[in-house]
Structure 1
């Protein structure tokens, strides 16, 4: 592909990504993979160059653009003017620029979202948002059911700063082809997720409910902490996500997980046997994903005030549901990969007002310092994805 053809390919992909963001469609990575699956003539260098350009543009355009062309022109005018010379309409290059052609404005995020982040970070907002839009490293979690971190040797990988079983590399690594991955010794997992799993305090012999288990990232970390002893019920309303968990459990050598598909809006029906029976309930709730912008910068294009309201309602409903499963003296851990206060502190404060049977409890801060009853992780301060984590107990 010529440089101009790469720009045109990026424009076409950004159009698809923007449409998917509007319509709750596939993630950017999936769209890019599908695009090139239909264009086998593009070599690995072409695919890498186009992908990098796409993400550069998405990171620099905070509002969902009207067109991929406008987004790329806006990015080029602000950050890479040399790209403008590739618009010429010759061959597979983008059509020539029109005088005063309208383009997307560069900004970190929609104004209403920045205002919400300012409530979290105050004067530190520019630094924190810049970190949120940086490139994420590759984090791995060592599966202690199979090995130890000291025994795993991957070129360029170093121990993570806070997660006891984490490794981090900034080098390209096809993880799923490595012998360590195939042997079930490692999983891809951001250090923030590993810290969140550690805060849960899962122990051997417990009955644990992972209420929003998805494809099982935190489930696997919880089982490792339990040393594969006890009972873990992994639930979700998405059959596809639960199905994807199966091979991961097998590869990791896990035998104590029961996968349970719930009916959306009628989850209680499938959980009646677990009422006030769990030592630990983990709610990794659906959220805005503001903490994951390093990996999914197009998430800024997906979020609207109305969608945020719906997420807040879902979080409150899951907290109410999860609380019914915790036994006396048991623990509920609430996790969101969000940095918006209304999905974190405000959500927990409102829930505690209507759930007098629970109270916040202090826990050792995995990042150091004094004990806390909730923890905020940020890329700017901790080098991992952004999270809010709270730990509560039934009195």
Structure 2
């Protein structure tokens, strides 16, 4: 592909990504993979170059742009080389016309900016929220990290995480299959808030594909019981093969029926040492990996998410044994989903109290701890440990 053709491909992909964001369609990564699956002529260098153009444009547009061309034209204002590709050549973008729409530069949509400021994150901190993320992995506890990473000379240990390592972005981690999981440092850190130990009974109430389930099970050293639950059959079905590959035999999965979750959890009432609630959220802490997610979030969607979070906390409470705990986690930086949810739960459940988790990163924030890309070089999270009365 010529440079002009790569730029046109990026414009076409941006159009698809913008439409998907407006219509709750597929994520950018998925759309990019689909695009190149039908264009076998594009080599690895072409795919990499187009992908970099797409994400550079997404990161420059806080508000959803009117079109992929408008987003790419914003890049031309800063990069004359990209501007020169708008030459009308075959397979390239048409020449730039005076007065045509150009996307507005920014970091976040205006309404989200107000939410961030109210949550203690000033505008100066926002660029870090959409910067490119590193590649972190968690080495299995029964594996020698030095041996596993012997062919990765650039791997660096992550401070405070015994099994956490950071690799250069784009590293091929296929050789680590079965001995390591790709997992952000922040995700590894918040899993520690559960203080999972051998012999415990742990319920992972919103397990999804099980990234944190595997971290919890690994900390339990193969003894005890961990029940991974979710309402999403497709995501939950990916967990058993991952657990088998990691040799974690204590993981059970349980598919929940939306609206009837309490019935399916009845046998676990009062049995859990820890209920881990990695609640559905806005994902504002993961924009480094999914920057187009800023265009998907609306006030209405945020309201639905906070209602779901409160519902899941109510489901968790009856499962906890006296003196046990709920570990509430969201990959969000918004107080509406974080500390305010924890405080609302505590106000409605007399006798419960917050116990600030001792984590290797993050800072106390309201009823828990907040991690952020700004200060911790990790994804953004809020985590609270809510302890049941004895």
Counterpart in 2 of 1:386?
380
Tell me whether 52-61 or 362-371 shows the greater mean CA deviation: 362-371
Change beyond 3 A, Cα 1:371–1:100: closer
Please list the CA deviations of residues 236-260 of structure 1 after superposition, one character each: whole Å capped at 9, or x if unmatched: 1111111111211110001111100
The separation in 2 between residues aligned to 1:163 and 1:238, in whole angstroms, is: 30
Counterpart in 2 of 1:59?
59
Change beyond 3 A, Cα 1:345–1:111: same
Change beyond 3 A, Cα 1:171–1:25: closer
Change beyond 3 A, Cα 1:47–1:187: same
Please list the CA deviations of residues 111-133 of structure 1 after superposition, one character each: whole Å capped at 9, or x if unmatched: 111111112335x431x211111
Query: Does 2:296 align with 1:299?
Result: no
Of 359, 369, 373, which aligns to 1:365?
A: 359
Query: Does 2:269 align with 1:270?
Result: no
How big is the shift at 1:14?
A: 0.7
Counterpart in 2 of 1:125?
123
Query: Does 2:340 align with 1:331?
Result: no
The separation in 2 between residues aligned to 1:291 and 1:228, in whole angstroms, is: 31
Change beyond 3 A, Cα 1:70–1:283: same
Unaligned runs of 5+ in 2: none
Counterpart in 2 of 1:138?
135
Counterpart in 1 of 2:221?
227
**Structure-to-structure mapping, 1:40-119, within 5 angstroms:** 40-77=40-77, 79-119=78-118
Counterpart in 2 of 1:8?
8
How big is the shift at 1:281?
A: 0.2
Of 150, 157, 168, which aligns to 2:155?
A: 157
The separation in 1 between residues aligned to 2:232 and 2:55, in whole angstroms, is: 28
The separation in 2 between residues aligned to 1:285 and 1:72, in whole angstroms, is: 35
The separation in 1 between residues aligned to 2:136 and 2:340, in whole angstroms, is: 30
CA RMSD of the aligned region, Å? 1.6
- 3-state SS, counterpart of residue 332 of structure 2: coil
Change beyond 3 A, Cα 1:224–1:373: farther
- 3-state SS, counterpart of residue 86 of structure 1: coil
Counterpart in 2 of 1:356?
350
Q: Calculate the TM-score normalised by the size of structure 1.
A: 0.94
Counterpart in 2 of 1:244?
238
CA contact (8 A) 2:357 2:384 kept: no
Aligned residue pairs, count: 387
How big is the shift at 1:370?
A: 8.7
Please list the CA deviations of residues 334-390 of structure 1 after superposition, one character each: whole Å capped at 9, or x if unmatched: 000000111111111111111114211133232288999611101111110000000
Counterpart in 2 of 1:310?
304
CA contact (8 A) 1:365 1:372 kept: no
CA contact (8 A) 1:162 1:191 kept: no
The separation in 2 between residues aligned to 1:171 and 1:131, in whole angstroms, is: 16
Change beyond 3 A, Cα 1:87–1:373: same
- 3-state SS, counterpart of residue 102 of structure 2: coil
The separation in 2 between residues aligned to 1:278 and 1:294, in whole angstroms, is: 34
The separation in 2 between residues aligned to 1:132 and 1:119, in whole angstroms, is: 16
The separation in 2 between residues aligned to 1:237 and 1:171, in whole angstroms, is: 32
Please list the CA deviations of residues 296-347 of structure 1 after superposition, one character each: whole Å capped at 9, or x if unmatched: 1011011001000000100010111111111111110000000011111111
- 3-state SS, counterpart of residue 391 of structure 1: strand
How big is the shift at 1:150?
A: 4.0
Tell me whether 297-306 or 150-159 shows the greater mean CA deviation: 150-159
Please list the CA deviations of residues 196-233 of structure 1 after superposition, one character each: whole Å capped at 9, or x if unmatched: 11111111111100000011100000001101110100
- 3-state SS, counterpart of residue 291 of structure 2: coil
The separation in 2 between residues aligned to 1:301 and 1:24, in whole angstroms, is: 10
Change beyond 3 A, Cα 1:358–1:19: same
How big is the shift at 1:103?
A: 1.4
